[in-house]
Structure 1
Amino acid sequence: MTQTRSGEDAQKHDGQAPSRRNRRFRGCAGLLAAGLLTITSACGLEPSSTYVPESAPGSVEPIPDLPEGTQLTVTTKNFTEQLILGKIGVLTAQAAGFDVVDQTNIPGPQALRQLMTDHTADMTYEYTGTAWLSYLGHDEGIPDPDEQWEAVRDADASLGLTWLPPAPLNNVYALAMSSETKDKLGDVSNLSDIADLPPEELTFCIESDFNSRSDGFQPMLEHYGIDVPDGNVKILDAGAVYTATEQGDCNFGEVFTTDGRIKSLNLTVLEDDESFFPAYNASPVINTELLEKYPELEDAYNQVSEKLTNEVLIELNRQVDVDGREPADVAFDWMVDEGFITEP
């Protein structure tokens, strides 16, 4: 699924204590302020793509008798949610006792897929719908989350990849409306409700990819029997869709269901009540050989996945895209709050 989620909004203070914010700079703040060091000097700062805070085990415990120095490579794609999930994957593996190689922030799904299928990387968080449609080449997705997961699990088994049970989070296309539009239109909460609206209220803001997909805008309209008048659809850049929807330039805008801007802009997501959109649940995908050698990894990742809901990712994504926080710090704080890891 082509996904654009990395907003560049100005950083805001998130109200957390300094010890839980801007963790990367804590040790060098005084020297930097005094002008004695630059960011690129021997301060020991890591690139943001490989940085994670130091942590200690919590409910994710070290694997008994794991040989010292055993490596596990984590990889993800390069948009906000994947960066957060990648750091969660890194921190989970570290708590289990692995020396983790951080290969998150890979530009493009096909490059990531290659890393996993040739076993250069050992673990990623992948979306069931992405694997089914983009990697395995099927024309239609499967709306039922369990059936979609089972299908990709079975298909990838021959490639030496094990799909652990999916998280509740389902990062899929949806339509949303502003609070003002919600008040104006009244009892509209499902996509099927849109078909009953007057033609003048059928205004949409979408981006070009959604407009041309086989699981996108036009097939959705046909599925729900929505007849949109000519001129009622605005094609915008992905980021502009959210703002235009919130400002009332259209009644309905295309969103991803875990985007942090849903919360920051107070948008209401309409339910896909006839299950048109395929399931895009995120699952931990692990090198089967490594998992067979260290089966305790399954419990480690499963306990984390159970807590990854749409509501959780909306908030975590918001902290990165709106508040300007580091994905690694956001992932760390969430995992500490849930008790999966602890601060050293």
Structure 2
Amino acid sequence: MKKTMGLLLALTLTAGLFAGCSSKETIKIGSQSTSEQMIIANMIKLMMEDRKLQAEIVTGLGSTPVIVNAMKSNEIQISAVRYVGTDLTGTLGLKELPADSAAALAMVQKGIQEKFDQTWFPSYGFENTYVFTVRQDLADQWKLNKVSDVASHAKEMRLGTDNAWLERTLDGYPAFKKAYGLEFGKTSPMEIGLVYKAVSNKDVDIVLAYSTDARLKEYNLKTLEDDKKFFPPYQASPVVRNDTLKKHPEIKEIMDKLAGQIETKTMTELNYQADVKKAEPEQIAKDFLKQKGLLKS
């Protein structure tokens, strides 16, 4: 009888132990399917697991509105990467944006906090925005370092860009011509993914690209400084539900440690490892965190 009771007690304790393990909350990190987002989502996951938190990446979320809705419904608790300009115009519906990056960040932080009860953290240190880009040899020949430098050559230059930008009013070509007082000799609408090869092959002379795209490095292209601050700030940051932060204050520590750690040049290099060298985002993330000393174990 004693043996039977002892066995039952042991089984009960074991069952309770397993029940406790299985009930441990899994925190879900939402990510779009770009290499940039997947790499950073893996950084967050690895740092959470390093602190004994259980985490899972939910990928393939197609757009910012999809991620916003998933956060609202608690299907995910963390957005791995959100961009200031995108959320100011899309999620918060603002029509006029500050050119100053600090003011734009403060505005989106306030808006997301008040409207969604979520915390928008400081930037990782990079922004993924539109950039005008030329071949390095042309930049050297004409001494092109900023967009204003293009003015004296614009009439003889062919611009490659996506068609939507040519027609947008707030931050598109019509407003750009007024801001910089220049107009290109010819515009060639094309899909954004084709502009890099087009400028490399000299089919066009200057293109509108994305500032952290791996193909900037692959094709040895030079980005020009937006010296008139025409494009709105697009700093990249994580966003976390406040109820999740209350339960797991370690997450704030993780986000604070990642803040300012990834410059635009660094993010481009990390994207290059994934998109061109075909390295796995998890391994890229792990190597970066170890290099920065951000993993405890």
List aligned pairs for 1:56-95, cutoff 5 A.
69-95=24-50
Tell me the alpha carbon deviations over residues 101-150 of structure 1, each in whole angstroms, 9 at most, x when there is no partner. 22123122211110112222111121111110111111233322211111
Q: Distance in 2 between matches of 1:136 and 1:234?
A: 32
Q: Distance in 1 between matches of 2:232 and 2:190?
A: 23
Residue 60 of structure 2 aligns with an amino acid whose one-letter code is N
Q: How big is the shift at 1:198?
A: 5.7
Q: How big is the shift at 1:336?
A: 1.8
Q: How big is the shift at 1:68?
A: 8.1
1:316 to 252, 270, 275: 270
1:184 is aligned to 2:141: yes
Q: How big is the shift at 1:182?
A: 1.4
Structure 2: runs of 5 or more not aligned: 1-21
Q: CA 1:218/1:88 → structure 2, altered by over 3 Å: closer, same or farther?
A: farther
Which TM-score applies when normalising by structure 1? Answer: 0.75
SS in 2 for 1:341: coil
1:108 is aligned to 2:67: no
Q: Distance in 1 between matches of 2:198 and 2:296?
A: 41
Q: How big is the shift at 1:257?
A: 0.7
SS in 1 for 2:126: coil
1:227 is aligned to 2:203: no
List aligned pairs for 1:205-244, cutoff 5 A.
205-213=160-168, 214-229=170-185, 232-244=186-198
Tell me the alpha carbon deviations over residues 265-324 of structure 1, each in whole angstroms, 9 at most, x when there is no partner. 111100001111111111111111121233332221121122111011100100111111
Q: Distance in 1 between matches of 2:100 and 2:128?
A: 14
Residue 182 of structure 1 aligns with an amino acid whose one-letter code is A
Q: Is the 8 A contact 1:167 1:309 kept in 2?
A: yes
State the number of aligned residues. Answer: 273
Q: Is the 8 A contact 1:128 1:282 kept in 2?
A: yes
Other-structure match for 1:295: 249
| Deviating 4+ runs (over 6 angstroms) | none
1:153 is aligned to 2:98: no
Q: Distance in 1 between matches of 2:281 and 2:160?
A: 29
Which protein shows a greater Rg? 2
Q: Is the 8 A contact 2:89 2:95 kept in 1?
A: yes
List aligned pairs for 1:245-264, cutoff 5 A.
245-264=199-218
Note the aligned Cα RMSD (angstroms). 1.8
Which TM-score applies when normalising by structure 2? Answer: 0.86
Other-structure match for 1:129: 85
Q: CA 1:123/1:323 → structure 2, altered by over 3 Å: closer, same or farther?
A: same
Residue 175 of structure 2 aligns with an amino acid whose one-letter code is P
Residue 284 of structure 2 aligns with an amino acid whose one-letter code is V
The structure with the largest helix share of the pair is 2
Q: Distance in 2 between matches of 1:329 and 1:342?
A: 17
2:280 to 306, 310, 326: 326
Q: Distance in 2 between matches of 1:174 and 1:74?
A: 29
Other-structure match for 2:149: 193
SS in 2 for 1:189: coil
Q: CA 1:198/1:167 → structure 2, altered by over 3 Å: closer, same or farther?
A: closer
Other-structure match for 1:277: 231
Q: Distance in 2 between matches of 1:154 and 1:240?
A: 37
Q: Distance in 2 between matches of 1:108 and 1:172?
A: 16
Q: Distance in 2 between matches of 1:241 and 1:342?
A: 42
Structure 1: runs of 5 or more not aligned: 1-66
Q: Is the 8 A contact 1:72 1:101 kept in 2?
A: yes
Q: How big is the shift at 1:160?
A: 1.4
Q: Distance in 2 between matches of 1:170 and 1:272?
A: 13
Q: How big is the shift at 1:342?
A: 6.2
